[in-house]
Every structure is written in structure tokens, then in C-alpha cells.
């Protein structure tokens, strides 16, 4: 019980920071796609930008339009944030590092994801303004187009695991010695692809960011929001991205397990060498990058951060701790890879039109999802 | 290892309370720290700089209402499949090989028959907008037309 409360507190306290740096990562990666530098001014290489942004948002005016439905308008972002953060309670971050090992963990996440859309619809409707209303309606249209496909994709994974508990899903992949992505002779790739498409729509990310659609609807459902209330919507969006990536990583990519969990002779490489080299390597790279900076304060700051990263690699070498730490490493590695793919989507594809989105959801993904479910059901028995 | 139902779900409940509290706390902090100047124009709904015309809460046609109703049907179907998927491996043991699969196949085929029926009926097609032909072309006010110069 104490452990779970501790996990929840850590999640609640550091998540705003993680979300801030996810935004920073997104800005940097998108900037790279467009051959520019991204934020570079605040702190060494722009690394303090998220903190500056958070402080700026705290000091911004909190505007409530006079015609808005006041209480709904005030409550809507909190609804979205609370559903997004609640899902964290059932995510297994590493072996036995999970706040609540409920036997329907996957349903909790799916349910919370669907309820979170209500916060967006409420916010758009209660603004009593034209653009947010259109954004809210689009959000509803998106929900009815993608929720079924997402469920069908998750079902294929559930069928392979034979359980809805997030912990036992990972355990089932461990027992079978294969990630579910590669099981059933590779046929699980189809539900995984459906999952990625539907997850992008579920989290309102480009190319399915119709509820926001800044080039058509000003800012969509959050046009009227400002200050930290707006920031809550952003926090919730990135929390949802993290959660849906974690679900994908758990259900299809083996959760916190290293690749090839049953091949013991790969243990030293994947449990020790790779995490230590990547974390210490990041630290060394930071120190090297710091050497290029002219001003003294950012240079020393970045050098300290690099030194801390190298120190952080130390506990990985302690065999007692390694089991948990390498679990964390692989979990966040997989989640990070999926998040990167979501950002990549945004940097690559133009936005879909509203009716195209419904067509893809209903006429492509649902038949494909059912077909892949039947196919995986037959092949899973062989 | 917690055993009772309430003990297992307590962290989820706790997380709900914590998340709501954090949401309120952050908004409250923003309200306290934020600079505030009341202004009638600023507090009006955003309309790209012009006066908003009418309320946003008018009645309008939601073109996808049929799809939304179908969504409820199909979502229930998907939820119906969850318990089946959980016990799927146990359903197909020994002499009953393929039993669970065939049972559910019958159900899914029935639902799919309905799905293709509504597809062919055109329910999933975006309702065609009458388009600008039915609306008389608007005349530009004289003050704005360029040809007058």
C-alpha cells in the first residue's frame, strides 16, 4: 500500500515536469524535421524553456468569457486532466512497480481515455462561442469513429494474453518468451497498426487533430481558454499520449521487459551494458556539448547535469537494483519510441478532412479490425 | 499483495482524488498569481476580431447523429467481445477445439451483416451538402467592391 501511494505521489509531482519536457522534445524534434534549431534562448540549448513557459502561464490572465457557462467552463479542463492522470495508477512501470494491480487494468485505461473526451466536449460547448463549439463537435465525431477500432485492436492483444490485468499481460509475454507484436506468425502487426492509428486519433494528435485544427478553427475547443486552465488541457494531452504509448508498449512490445527476455546470455548486454552506456553516454554528450558554450553559468549548469546523469548510471551496476532499474529503462525506452513516432506523424502528414476521418474509421479500420481479430483467433490456436 | 476488492482499487480512487486536487490547485495558483484586467471586449467570445453574431447555442444539424447511434451498437459489440477474448484460450481445449471461435464467429458475422447493410444503405456516407447552388450568391456591399474605383 505504501509503495503504491509513493508511486502515485511521484507520478503526480513529476508529471507536469515530464509533460513540459515532452513539449520541449516535440518542439526540438519538429524543428529538426524542418531544418531549424527550435527553442535555444532560455538556458543552455533552450533546456529551461519548459520551466519558463510554465511560469509564464502561471502569470497569465485567466479569462472567462461573459457568455460562457461559467462552472462547466471552469470544470472542463480539470475533468480532462483527472481522467488522463488516473490511468497512471494501473500502468506497470517495472517489475511489481505498479500502483494498483487491478484485474481489469486495460479497461480502466480505455474507459478513462473515452471519458477524457467528455472534458474536451464540455469545454468546447460551455465556451458558448462558435469555434470551440465546432471543435467540440469534431471531437465527438472523432470519438464515434475511432473508439470501436481501438477496442478491436486492444482485443487482439487481450486474446493473446488471456487477461485484462496490465501486470499479467506483461507476465504472459514473459512466459511465452515473445512480444505479442511478433506472436501469431507476425499477424499481430495488423492490430498494432490499427492501434497506432486509433491511438493517434484518440489523443487528438496530427494528422487527426481536427478538434484543434489551428488553421481552420483558430484553436478549436480551447479557443476561449487562457492561462493555466489552457495549460491543463496541454498537460492532459501529453499525459494521454504517454498513457496510450504505455498501453501500446505493455500490450504489444513486452512492457518493462528487455528484448528477448528468455535468452539469458543476452542479459548482461540488455540489462547492464545498454542502459549504462546510453545514460552515461547522454551525460558525457552533455558535458561535451557544454564545452562549446561561451557563457559561464549555462556551461557549468549543463556540466553538472551531465555529471548527474553519469552518476545515475551507477545504480544500474548493482545487481539487486538492476532488475527494477532496467525494467524502468526499457519501459521508458519503448514509451519514448512510441512518443517519437507520434511526433514524427505530426511532422510528416497533413491533417485529414473531417469526413475522410470517419471514412477511415468506419469503412477501413472496423472491417480490418474484425478480420484481423478472426485471423488472430484462428492462428492463435495453432 | 492486497486481496480485497476495495484494497486493490484504493490506489485508483486515491489517484482520482489527487489528480482532481492537483488540477484545482494549479488553476487556483494561476488565478491568484495571474494579472487581471476586466475589459468588456476581451471578455466577449472570440470571433476573429468582429462582433460575434448570435449565440453559439443555437440548434443545428449534427450530420453524424446516425453514425453516433451506430457507434453505441458497435461499442457494445466490442465490449461484449472482451470477456470472450479473456477466456478464449480456455474455451478451445481438447474435444471443444474451435468451439469458442465458432460461437463468436456466428455473432460477429451477424453483426457484420448488419454493418454491410448500413454501409450499402449509405448511412456511413457523408451527407452531401446542397452547396452554394442553393444559396443565392451574396452581393458585396458597394463600399468594399474594388470595381467601383
pLDDT tens digits, A52-65:
988 888 888 888 88
pTM score, two decimals? 0.86
Query: What is the structure's pLDDT at B128?
Result: 57
Residue B40 belongs to some domain of the structure:
yes
Residue B54 belongs to some domain of the structure:
no
> Per-residue pLDDT tens for B125-137?
766 555 555 555 5
Determine what percent of chain A is predicted with pLDDT higher than 70.
100
Instruction: ipTM value, please give it.
Output: 0.78
- Give how many domains chain B has, as a whole number: 1
Closest listed residue to residue A234, CA positions, set A19, A17, A7 = A19
Residue A28 belongs to some domain of the structure:
no
Query: What is the structure's pLDDT at B127?
Result: 60
Measure Cα distances from B35 to A231, A346, B31 in Å. 16, 34, 8
Which residues face A97 on adjacent strands?
A94
Residue A136 belongs to some domain of the structure:
yes
Residue A243 belongs to some domain of the structure:
yes
CA dist B9 and A165 (Å) reads 13
Residue A218 belongs to some domain of the structure:
yes
Tell whether B8 lies on the interface with A, counting CB pairs under 8 A: yes
Interface test with A, best of B50, B60, B88, B94 (most A CBs within 10 A): B88
Determine what percent of chain B is predicted with pLDDT higher than 90.
0
CA dist A208 and A186 (Å) reads 27
Residue A145 belongs to some domain of the structure:
yes
> Are A66 and B88 a contacting pair at CB < 8 A?
no
Residue B3 belongs to some domain of the structure:
no
Closest listed residue to residue A249, CA positions, set A341, A318, A185, A319 = A341
Residue B37 belongs to some domain of the structure:
yes
Query: What is the structure's pLDDT at A74?
Result: 85
Domain span at B31: 13-48+61-126
CA dist A166 and A106 (Å) reads 6
The answer on pLDDT for A67 being more than 50 is yes
Q: For residue A106, what is its C-alpha cell?
A: 486495460
Domain span at A172: 64-257+318-381
Interface test with B, best of A6, A66, A223, A242 (most B CBs within 10 A): A66
Task: Say which DSSP state B148 is in.
Answer: T
> Per-residue pLDDT tens for A118-149?
888 888 888 888 888 888 888 888 888 888 89
Give the residue carrying C-alpha cell 469545454.
A123
- Give how many domains chain A has, as a whole number: 1
Residue B99 belongs to some domain of the structure:
yes
Nearest CA in chain A to B62: A137
Do the beta carbons of residue A63 and residue A219 sit within 8 Å?
no
Instruction: Please report the sign of the dihedral spanned by the C-alpha atoms of residue A203, residue B76, residue A133, residue B63.
Output: positive
Instruction: Please report the sign of the dihedral spanned by the C-alpha atoms of residue A347, residue A352, residue A357, residue A361.
Output: negative
CA dist A213 and A124 (Å) reads 13
> Are B20 and A82 a contacting pair at CB < 8 A?
yes
Residue A48 belongs to some domain of the structure:
no
Q: How confident is the model at residue B149 (pLDDT cuts 50, 70, 90)?
A: very low
Residue A312 belongs to some domain of the structure:
no
Residue B112 belongs to some domain of the structure:
yes
Amino acid at each position: 500500500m505504501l509503495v503504491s501511494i509513493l508511486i502515485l505521489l511521484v507520478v503526480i509531482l513529476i508529471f507536469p515536469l515530464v509533460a513540459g519536457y515532452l513539449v520541449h522534445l516535440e518542439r526540438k524534434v519538429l524543428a529538426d524535421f524542418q531544418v531549424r534549431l527550435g527553442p535555444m534562448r532560455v538556458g543552455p540549448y533552450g533546456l529551461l524553456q519548459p520551466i519558463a513557459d510554465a511560469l509564464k502561464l502561471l502569470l497569465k490572465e485567466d479569462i472567462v468569457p461573459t457568455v460562457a457557462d461559467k462552472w462547466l467552463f471552469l470544470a472542463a479542463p480539470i475533468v480532462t486532466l483527472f481522467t488522463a492522470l488516473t490511468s497512471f495508477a494501473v500502468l506497470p512501470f517495472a517489475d511489481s512497480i505498479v500502483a494498483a494491480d487491478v484485474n481489469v487494468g486495460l479497461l480502466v485505461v480505455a474507459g478513462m481515455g473515452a471519458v477524457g473526451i467528455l472534458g474536451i466536449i464540455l469545454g468546447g460547448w460551455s465556451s458558448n462561442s462558435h469555434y470551440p463549439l465546432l471543435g467540440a463537435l469534431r471531437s465527438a465525431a472523432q470519438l464515434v469513429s475511432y473508439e470501436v477500432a481501438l477496442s478491436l485492436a486492444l482485443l487482439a492483444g487481450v486474446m493473446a494474453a488471456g487477461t485484462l490485468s496490465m501486470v499479467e499481460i506483461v507476465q504472459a509475454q514473459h512466459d511465452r518468451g515473445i512480444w505479442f507484436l511478433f506472436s501469431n506468425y507476425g499477424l499481430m502487426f495488423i492490430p498494432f497498426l490499427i492501434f497506432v492509428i486509433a491511438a493517434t486519433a484518440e489523443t487528438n494528435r496530427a494528422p487527426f487533430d481536427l478538434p484543434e485544427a489551428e488553421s481552420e478553427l483558430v484553436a478549436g475547443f480551447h479557443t476561449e481558454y487562457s492561462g493555466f486552465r489552457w495549460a491543463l488541457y496541454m498537460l492532459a494531452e501529453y499525459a494521454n499520449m504517454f498513457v496510450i504509448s504505455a498501453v501500446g508498449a505493455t500490450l504489444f512490445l513486452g512492457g518493462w521487459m528487455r528484448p528477448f527476455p528468455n535468452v539469458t546470455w543476452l542479459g548482461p548486454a540488455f540489462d547492464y551494458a545498454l542502459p549504462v552506456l546510453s545514460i552515461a553516454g547522454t551525460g558525457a554528450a552533455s558535458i561535451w556539448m557544454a564545452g562549446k558554450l561561451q557563457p559561464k553559468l549555462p556551461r557549468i549548469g549543463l556540466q553538472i547535469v551531465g555529471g548527474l546523469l553519469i552518476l545515475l548510471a551507477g545504480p544500474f551496476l548493482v545487481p539487486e537494483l538492476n532488475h527494477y532499474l532496467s525494467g524502468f529503462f526499457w519501459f521508458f525506452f519503448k514509451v519514448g519510441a512510441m512518443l517519437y513516432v507520434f511526433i514524427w506523424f505530426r511532422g510528416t502528414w497533413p491533417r485529414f478532412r473531417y469526413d475522410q476521418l470517419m471514412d477511415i474509421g468506419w469503412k477501413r479500420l472496423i472491417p480490418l479490425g474484425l478480420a484481423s481479430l478472426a485471423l488472430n483467433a484462428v492462428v492463435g490456436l495453432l | 499483495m492486497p486481496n480485497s476488492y476495495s484494497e486493490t482499487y484504493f490506489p485508483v480512487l486515491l489517484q482520482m482524488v489527487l489528480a482532481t486536487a492537483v488540477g484545482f490547485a494549479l488553476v487556483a495558483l494561476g488565478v491568484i498569481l495571474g494579472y487581471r484586467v476586466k475589459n468588456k471586449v476581451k471578455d466577449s467570445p472570440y470571433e476573429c476580431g468582429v462582433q460575434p453574431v448570435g449565440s453559439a447555442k443555437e440548434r443545428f444539424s449534427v450530420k453524424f447523429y446516425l453514425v453516433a447511434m451506430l457507434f453505441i451498437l458497435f461499442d457494445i459489440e466490442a465490449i461484449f467481445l472482451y470477456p470472450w477474448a479473456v477466456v478464449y484460450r480456455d474455451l478451445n481445449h481438447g474435444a471443444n477445439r474451435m468451439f469458442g471461435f465458432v460461437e463468436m464467429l456466428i455473432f460477429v458475422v451477424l453483426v457484420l451483416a448488419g454493418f454491410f447493410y448500413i454501409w450499402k444503405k449509405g448511412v456511413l456516407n457523408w451527407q452531401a451538402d446542397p452547396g452554394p447552388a442553393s444559396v443565392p450568391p451574396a452581393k458585396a456591399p458597394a463600399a468594399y467592391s474594388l470595381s467601383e474605383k
